[in-house]
Structures are given as C-alpha cells and as structure tokens.
Amino acid sequence: MRIADAAALHYPVSVPTVFYTDQHHIPLPDGHKFPLSKYRKVREQIESDSRLASHLELVPAPLASAEDAMYAHDPDYVRQFLSGALSAPAMRRIGFPWSEALVARTMASVGATLAATEVALSPDAWSGTLAGGTHHAFRAEGSGFCVFNDIAIAISKLLAHDTIDRAAVIDLDVHQGDGTAEIFRAEPRVFTLSLHSRTNFPFRKQHSRLDLELADGTGDDDYLRTLDHALPQLFAFEPEIVFYQAGVDALSSDTLGHLNLTHDGLRERDRRVFESVRAHRVPLVITLGGGYSRPVEDAVLAHLNTYRTAIGVFGEG
C-alpha cells in the first residue's frame, strides 16, 4: 500500500514542520540528571538562528490521546499512568515523579511524533520533533525517562490503519532501543536497527531486527564504518517510512555515554542517514533522543547540527 499524498496533510509542507513540547514544564527535584533545559534551549537557538528559523516551521505539539497511546501500549498501563495510579516502583523505573505536568509533557511528546508523521507522509517529505525518541518504554511499563514510546505508537497507528506496509527505525542513541525492540519483536512489518554502546544501559538488552554493539571509547571512524554496514541492510527492507532516533549521547562529553564521538562525527553520522533516506525517497521523521553532556550546551549544539544537516541534505525549501 502506498502512502498518502501531500494534499491530504493537515500541516504545511512548504518548509519542514518541527514540533516542540517545552511549553509543558515538568517539575523535577534539584539535582535531577534529566536535562530538561536542553529542549527549551534547542527551540530558542532555532528561533535565534536566521537560517534555521527561515527553513523550519516551529509548531507547538498537540496532545496525543489515551487511545493513541494504546496503539502500542497495554491499556491498563496507559490508564494507570494517566490517572497517577502507577506504583512507586514503576515510577522509579521511569525516573520521574508523577505529576499532571508530566502527563501533559508525555502526551505532547507523543503528539509531536504523531503530527510529524502526518507531515512526513508524502514523497520526499520529512518532519521532526524537538522531543521524542523515548525508546526505553515497553508495551506495559516505562523505563529510563521514557513513559510512552512515541515512535512505536506512530508506527503501530500507521499499521493499524493500513497506511503503510513496512516501517523502519534507525536508532542511533548511545543506549539500545530496548522498548522499541520489545514492542516490535514479533512484528515482521517493522525493521528495528539499534547502534549502541555494548556496556551501557539497558544492561539487559532486547533483540532488535539488527543490533550493532560498540566497545567503550569507540570514535568517529569505527562508528561510521559500523553505520555504513547497517544502513544498506535496513533499506533492503524497503521501508515506506523511516523514524530516526537521533540521540546525541554518543558524544565524548556525554555524562551517560561510553563512546567518544566528536561533533564532526555526529554531523557525518546524520549526513549519511539523511543521504540514504533521500536516495531511497522515503518519508522521514526525526526525533531528538538522548543527550546528557555537561555543559548542556554541548548537547544543544549537537541537536541543532542534526537539523542543520537535514536542511543541507534535503534542501532549503
């Protein structure tokens, strides 16, 4: 089945639309290691950068519904999270204290990816979010700062409505996309690729369609060679849409990463992904993924470079 054409979209495609969620602020205790400020900083930097601001349309993310989340998640888990009824151990596994603000931010993150998916569903189109990539969320539990798996929800909704026949996930966060792998473990219509640190979280790995593990301290050259090995296998699957989890926690400055990539290496990583997508004429959704560098501005720069690279590869409108 072929994807919808641009005339059916609800959002403009004259320039790529990117959805943001930082209008929903999560109250976190002092010293919490989740880099909440980076999401606002990325948006503000885009707005203040004349090239980025003129070639990306920033739109506040709509809220997903409970029914949306249930495309990929157990209904009881969804209802318990939304109502604040999850157990204390379940919330500790997620890593956030429950609050109504967390619910709003979570549903905006899912809504951003769903909206970006709708934009991307036209030939050669792409869209993205300044959130998302919450790949540690399993079907019936959250983990690692991930409540609901936005990419899995978007793909599951597309498959449920017969909008596509095949989807692919390129997950280049430093941590394995274990939740995504678990959700699609028995789904032949989804190709999950995870390129990640062997020794890093999660310590109990799941089985993606293709897992490529990297040794501690891996640098740009070895990383890019591994990526070059992976991308042809993914595109041989002939996906009709690609979701790119573009985490930047492989940077050498990242406090939760074990790899040693430079900003130049990450830019080259992104370029190779985007050029492969363009060559195969596949719609693309970009999600931010992880980035825990100190100072946080290092992660902000890397996320901005992902969008700069996308504009350079796909054209400036």
Task: Tell me the C-alpha distance between 166 and 159, whole Å.
Answer: 8
- The separation between CA 123 and the C-alpha centre of its own chain, rounded to angstroms, equals 21
CB-based contact 245:151 (threshold 8 Å): yes
What are 314's two structure tokens?
């796909």
Mean pLDDT of the chain: 94
The full set of domains in the chain, from first to last, is 16-314 (3.40.800.20)
Residues in the chain: 317
Task: Tell me the C-alpha distance between 106 and 84, whole Å.
Answer: 13
pLDDT digits (tens, 9 = 90+) for 122-152: 766 899 999 999 999 999 999 999 999 999 9
CB-based contact 199:220 (threshold 8 Å): no
Q: Mean of the pLDDT values across residues 228-234?
A: 98
pLDDT digits (tens, 9 = 90+) for 164-222: 999 999 999 999 999 999 999 999 999 999 999 999 999 999 999 999 999 999 999 99
What single-letter DSSP state applies at residue 22? T
Task: Tell me the C-alpha distance between 202 and 225, whole Å.
Answer: 24
- The confidence score (pLDDT) of residue 124 equals 63
Percent of the chain exceeding pLDDT 90 equals 92
DSSP one-letter string for 69-96: HTTTS-HHHHHHHHHT-S-HHHHHHHTS
CB-based contact 123:279 (threshold 8 Å): no
Supply the residues annotated as catalytic. Answer: 136
CB-based contact 178:135 (threshold 8 Å): yes
